[in-house]
Chains A and B, each alone.
Chain A
């Protein structure tokens, strides 16, 4: 009797189980589950979620299409869908992490400039070297002009020297380029991070900045240009060469560009590996 009840219960259970199987649609295939988990991970990572662009939307769309159609696609279409969606997820992750790193690099670059400014304030000796072979040292470099011949009013109505006003206009034409006006003229600064680590190769970000600088310099053929590379070794000279060559390739006459290496030999500023492009409103 007891055995009979058990068998009956098993039979009822099996019937209910099979009935449930027949009415509940099967879950998504394992590949789709994996891709959905990957997407969940990307959306949960603030470095990625906060820097997600169209790439993450593409990945979301691809996995969504795959999930909805996985059971109706033929094996070839399904395999293609998994392949494409997998790559799109990878693209979304890599692109967002690249943006995150670039943003963090920019922030660190600003902090570094502040730290270097502090170190420069403590460093009193600045030596312009002549012992190492600079890439191009021209004897006809004219010093920054100090005589003010004419003044004009800037946007705020203040009287400013005409040359400074011209440099201010040039500065405004270089959006996204780190620059400042000082006693030397308009100084475009390429921090160490604008070069590949330990090399003279320009990063894409630096090239983008130099493209903007070149456009302005081509349109103003009178401005004097000096590339000042900071550092005590050949790397500084090579970086100055790289900047000058890049500008030359973008249409800025190389004969307009002087370059020199600046060696901050003492104090904390010896870590300074920047390159300044000094533009004078000649």
Chain B
């Protein structure tokens, strides 16, 4: 978790006064992880099942890439972390939607079978 959600570390460092500016390597690592998370969400069919979350992830990723172009590494890391967590949320909601849809389908099927068997002579 500590590598995936840098905020938790940074918050603790900020309290101790040890927070430092984000360097280029860290920012690019965050950006890479964000791209991976958004791509994973797309593969999970989030465009269909969690479009709002995926749109937000894309938006944050765009901001992160713009910040990287401007060599603003703090902003790059900040927006990349948002993109990453938004992508993860899109994947999770997509999985939830697919699982619930499949379960509802089989539940209807089971109900139908129960009724038919119960009503059969």
Contact = CB atoms under 8 A, between A and B. Distances in A.
A132 B99 CA distance: 32
Main secondary structure of the interface of A (DSSP, over half): helix
Contacts of B89: 87, 90-91, 94
A59 to B, nearest CB: 10
A54 interface: yes
A232 to B, nearest CB: 15
Interface in B38-93: 78, 81-82, 85-86, 88-89, 92-93
B113 A115 contact: yes
B76 to A, nearest CB: 13
Contacts of B10: 77, 80
B117 A115 contact: yes
B117 A192 contact: no
Contacts of A104: 103
Contact of B11 (A77, A95, A97, A193): A77
Contacts of B98: 98, 196, 203-204
B113 A193 contact: no
Interface in A180-206: 191-193, 196-198, 203-204
Contact of A72 (B14, B100, B120): B14
B21 interface: no
Interface in A216-236: none
Contacts of A198: 105
Interface in B1-50: 1, 5, 7-8, 10-12, 14-15, 19
A80 B86 CA distance: 13
A90 B96 CA distance: 11
Interface string A149-193: 000000000000000000000000000000000000000000111
Interface in A39-60: 54-55, 57-58
Contacts of B82: 80, 83-84, 87
B117 A58 contact: no
Given A90-B89, A91-B85, A271 B109 contact: yes
Given A102-B103, A105-B102, 20 more contacts: A54-B1, A61-B8, A62-B7, A77-B7, A77-B11, A80-B7, A87-B88, A90-B93, A94-B89, A98-B100, A101-B99, A101-B102, A105-B103, A115-B110, A115-B113, A193-B106, A197-B104, A203-B102, A268-B113, A268-B117
12 contacts: A58-B1, A61-B1, A83-B85, A84-B7, A95-B95, A98-B96, A116-B113, A196-B101, A197-B101, A268-B116, A271-B116, A273-B109
Interface of B: 1, 5, 7-8, 10-12, 14-15, 19, 78, 81-82, 85-86, 88-89, 92-93, 95-96, 98-107, 109-110, 112-114, 116-117, 120
